[in-house]
Structure 1
Amino acid sequence: MKLPIDRNAFSEYIVESNIFELTRKAMYICLENWYNDEPKQFVEDVRADFDTTIKTYHFYNEMVSFSKNFNFEPALDSIACIIRITDEDDDCCISYRAIFDYDLNIIDDIICP
């Protein structure tokens, strides 16, 4: 069976849409809100305060994928973008996932341990 996605077009889309930058902006807001709401939990999970995390941690572009979620009627088409967050020693702390509609409006986001 032929793959229904043009790999080159998909790679171009990732660059031209600037989806990782959009995800990073949303990630910073999410991390800051989490720290402001639950500073102890943030430090426990991330092993640093917000300022240290932003200034010294590494943020790696990890994945972009298209999906069709059949839990909705009609099925929801979306784009997921994941950024992996590691500490100064490159130990993985958490991942941030943003879910976008096809117009690149953020639908949802989540921080995963």
Structure 2
Amino acid sequence: MDVIADILLVAGALGAGFYCFILARRLTRFTDLENGVGGAVAVLSAQVDDLTKTLSAAQSSAGHSSKSLEELTERAEDVARRLELMVASMHDLPQQPVEPPKQAQPDTIFFRHPRN
């Protein structure tokens, strides 16, 4: 009975050792920097850095665009105020009927031929 228990214990140890060997190989392939998840993590890290730079550039551009748009809006509001003032001042002018311009009569010019 002790011999059978020892054989089963050795078989279990060999099975566990073989299982650990397979897991170690899978783990090295899993963390391989070129093909495994390590490589994917490295690529994703580089992409995150690129996206961070792109995002900061986009934020800077949006800030400049926002500032330019604010300036244009202020100018447009100023022009609108001046136009409202001009329209209001037009209402204060006396109403005079506008006559259509008289059409000038064309001058008729006769040329004489030098032989006559």
Asked if these proteins are the same fold (TM beyond 0.5), I'd say no
TM-score, normalised to structure 2, is 0.23
Structure with a larger share of its residues in strand: 1
TM-score, normalised to structure 1, is 0.23
Q: Which has the larger radius of gyration?
A: 2
